[in-house]
Chain A
Amino acid sequence: MKKIKNSNKKPVTIGGIVLQIVLLIIAFIQIYPFIWLLLFSFKSNGEIFGSNVVGFPNKLLWENYQQALTNGRVGIYFINSALVTVVTIMISSVVAAMASYGIVRMKWKLSGVTLIFFLMGLMIPIHAALLPLFMFFSKLKQLNSYWSLIFPYVGFAIPMAIYIFSGFLRDIPKEMEESALLDGCSIYNSFFRIILPLIKPAIATVSIFTFLSSWNELMFAVTFISKWQYRTLTVGIQQMVGQYTTSWGPIGAGLVIATIPTLLIYCLLSNQVQKSLISGAVKG
């Protein structure tokens, strides 16, 4: 196969067409379940359970969405999830960036050991902490609070964040910072004014990883939260499904509501998301 150097497009060949078809089929497999979900979220039980399982809805039943949002409280769950996730991302990014800086740039004997200590956390499943944390939060009367989710999520996000940040920091030349320090800039200023802006791409990467893990987390959310006011989407959806077992329409609508915003953010930022993941994965 001959190729024109530096061109972005290959000439159209039979192989190319076959490849495109295969890729399209895979793309179809990856998103068809969501299309089906979108369709049945507009259907009545009669259609879903018999007359029209796969086709387009006869009539768009927006009531399903209304029900999911009001009776199903999906709106509230969504806000809770967003709140918990955003706070988790903020705390874990700052705290982990600071720790990484302290480990990579500061000079002290135990820095290497500390890094290993943190990275150990990468291999530890959250299960081990479930029961002790449950007892812990219940003693502090902190079950049914946003903090009972935020702290564990931050804790379990820290190892990955430190892993990414420390890799990044090591590649940042020391000169800028050193000259600043020599000019009498304090170490705190040097971190917040010079380093933090420099590691923005790493912060994006960390945020995405943290978002994925805390947005989807179920085990802690199901155990620590029993009041609906604090339920996050994962548990809220489970709850709503229990409530509407007999009518799939509102369930589908709830699932769509839970999914659409993340999908939108992803569509708008997908290049940024992927760029971050790329830089995050190759470093370190």
Chain B
Amino acid sequence: MKRFALRVMTAALSVAIATSLAACGSNSAGSNSPDTSAAGSTTTETSAKPSETKSATVRVWTLWTDPTKDSNAAYFYKVLESAKTELANITIEHDATENESYKTKLKTAVAANEAPDVFYSWGAGFTKPFVDAGKVLPLDEYIASSGAGDKILPGATDFFKFDNKTYGIPYSKWVAVLYCNKDLFDQNGVKIPATYDELLTAVKAFRAKNITPITVGGKDRWPAMFFQNALALRTAGAQACVDALNKTASYDQPAFVESAAKLKELVDAKAFNDGCLGLTNDESAVPFTEGQIPMYYMGNWFVGNIMGKDSKVADKVQAVAFPMVNDGKGTSDEFFGGSIEGFCVSANAADKDAACKTAGYLSETMAKLTADDGGLATWKVDGVDESKINALAKQIKDLTANAKSYVLAWDTFLEGADAETHKNLVAEIYAGKKTPEEFAKEMQKLNEKK
């Protein structure tokens, strides 16, 4: 044993020397740096592959692990089925990972030139680094030649446009709404809130009756972030949000401070479920669909769960716009959401034609299914049978019928590290670790950074 101890100590010393030598070794390692060699392998790979579509295999990655997860997942698995017959000669090899790990997995894969041929992606900040690094295939040519250009709604691809090129095809638009369990509101004599003050009143009324007012899954952080983003949309208005996100305006202005202050007010009023920072979004949804918590602020994709077989609230939910803030700059025709979810094609795709075709097919067919269910499609869809659309989806469709502008979830608009910082800052408001003023100041640091 003594001998061992001695050995380890000597070993420790030699490592110390070794690591200090690492700096000297950096030159030789530098000539071998991964980006240069990666670029080399890209070119050889693409030129070597044949371009005929002889039963090509296209690898597709999405975040839909299970058809029952939400409505988009359900559509996607239907599309996978129909693709078997409608996309002759193309075999789709699908792999799914759940939301947060999907982001990680995709980013690492793209970085390592391991990206699948076609992948689900979020527009704006999430896709931008991939595009900047030249890892995503521009789809303009495909869109023009396949006639998809006429079918995609105007403006739908905006968040996938970088330098005037289109790098992704979205299939639907999402919008966040406040889902309210009417039964719980009625039973407790609470009014479904249309303004922030009413929301606060409702929160207090539910708390007084020992009911948790709002459920949110803060462990994933983005659901928690939704509230600050939505409040900012109401206090500052859509244009101010977009300007700040584009770094052309400051976050450090009263309207944004107020968005954080209002959130803090909600937190202090115990609006949210206990331990919300330790629960994932999926976990937090359970008490809502179980009919225990009256309010849940989520994207319209959640309609599928509310109407699903496991839900106990299918016919009890009313979807309303996020409450307005008195003397806020936001207007009621501004919504939180946007056409951000779509399919991209890897610049390294083995068979580019097949990959583009697959991406286009997935997007168009998903859009059709989305529209059939009353969702917000980004493609022109004819012959939707209005009678088959469920009431809740229709409510949301009507709610957003005259929408003037959308603001994306900030974490999808911002890039990598900035998005992380933003989500953490919001979480810190929930945890009571940051004041609204500090929040605004530190958000502004992101804009001043570069």
Contact = CB atoms under 8 A, between A and B. Distances in A.
A245 B282 contact: yes
A141 B41 CA distance: 11
Given A115-B7, A239-B65, A284-B4, A120 B105 contact: no
Contact of B112 (A119, A135, A163, A243): A135
Contacts of A227: 95
Interface string A193-228: 000000000000000000000000000001100111
A143 interface: yes
B15 A120 contact: yes
Interface in B16-69: 34, 37-38, 41, 61, 65-66, 69
B106 to A, nearest CB: 9
A95 B41 CA distance: 33
A33 interface: no
A6 interface: no
Interface string A217-259: 0000011001110000000001100110111000000000000
Contacts of A228: 95
Given A239-B98, A242-B98, A245-B282, A143 B112 contact: yes
Interface string A113-129: 00111011011100000
Interface in A119-177: 119-120, 122-124, 134-135, 138-139, 141, 143, 163
- Which of A119, A135, A246 has the most CB atoms of chain B within a 10 A radius of its CB? A246
A246 B7 contact: no
Contacts of A122: 8
Given A120-B12, A242-B65, A226 B105 contact: yes
Interface residues of B, number: 36
Interface in B192-236: none
A32 interface: no
A138 B98 contact: no
Interface in B99-119: 99, 101, 105, 108-109, 112-114
B11 A246 contact: no
A71 interface: yes
A192 interface: no
Nearest to A246: B286
B4 A163 contact: yes
Contacts of A238: 101
A135 B98 CA distance: 23
Contacts, number: 78
Contact of A246 (B37, B105, B108, B282): B282
A19 to B, nearest CB: 31
Contacts of A223: 108
A239 B64 CA distance: 12
B283 interface: yes
Interface string A90-122: 000000000000000000000000011101101
A49 interface: yes
Given A163-B4, A242-B282, A226 B109 contact: yes
B447 interface: no
A64 to B, nearest CB: 14
A116 B11 contact: yes
A226 B97 contact: yes
Query: Interface size class for chain A?
Result: 20 to 34
Nearest to A247: B310
B310 A246 contact: yes
B326 interface: no
Given A123-B12, A163-B4, A243-B98, A134 B310 contact: no
Which secondary structure dominates where chain B touches chain A?
helix
B383 to A, nearest CB: 34
Contacts of B146: none
Interface string B279-313: 01011011001100000000000000000001000
Contacts of A226: 61, 95, 97, 105, 109
B97 A245 contact: no
B144 interface: no
Nearest to B37: A139
B82 interface: no
Contact of A123 (B11, B38, B282, B290): B11
Contact of A138 (B113, B282, B310): B113
B390 interface: no
B10 to A, nearest CB: 6
B19 to A, nearest CB: 10
Contacts of A284: 1, 4
Nearest to B284: A245
A246 B308 CA distance: 12
A49 B112 contact: no
Contact of B114 (A117, A143, A239, A246): A143
Nearest to B113: A138
Q: Which of A119, A124, A226 has the most CB of B within 10 A?
A: A226
B89 interface: no
B14 interface: yes
Contacts of A117: 11, 14
B8 A243 contact: no
Given A71-B66, A139-B34, A123 B112 contact: no
A217 to B, nearest CB: 17
A141 B101 CA distance: 21
A228 B8 CA distance: 40
Contacts of A49: 286, 290
A119 B8 contact: yes
A237 to B, nearest CB: 13
Interface in B253-298: 280, 282-283, 285-286, 289-290
B66 A243 contact: yes
A120 B95 contact: no
Given A122-B8, A123-B8, A245 B15 contact: no
Interface of B: 1, 4, 7-8, 10-12, 14-15, 34, 37-38, 41, 61, 65-66, 69, 95, 97-99, 101, 105, 108-109, 112-114, 280, 282-283, 285-286, 289-290, 310
Given A243-B98, A246-B282, 14 more contacts: A49-B286, A116-B10, A116-B11, A120-B14, A122-B8, A123-B11, A141-B114, A226-B109, A239-B101, A242-B99, A242-B101, A242-B282, A243-B69, A247-B310
List of 10 A-B pairs having minimum Cβ-Cβ separation, nearest first: A138-B112, A245-B282, A242-B98, A120-B11, A116-B11, A243-B65, A226-B105, A243-B66, A135-B34, A138-B114
23 contacts: A49-B290, A116-B11, A116-B14, A117-B11, A119-B11, A120-B11, A122-B8, A123-B11, A138-B114, A139-B37, A139-B38, A143-B112, A226-B61, A226-B105, A226-B109, A227-B95, A228-B95, A242-B282, A243-B98, A245-B286, A246-B285, A246-B289, A284-B4
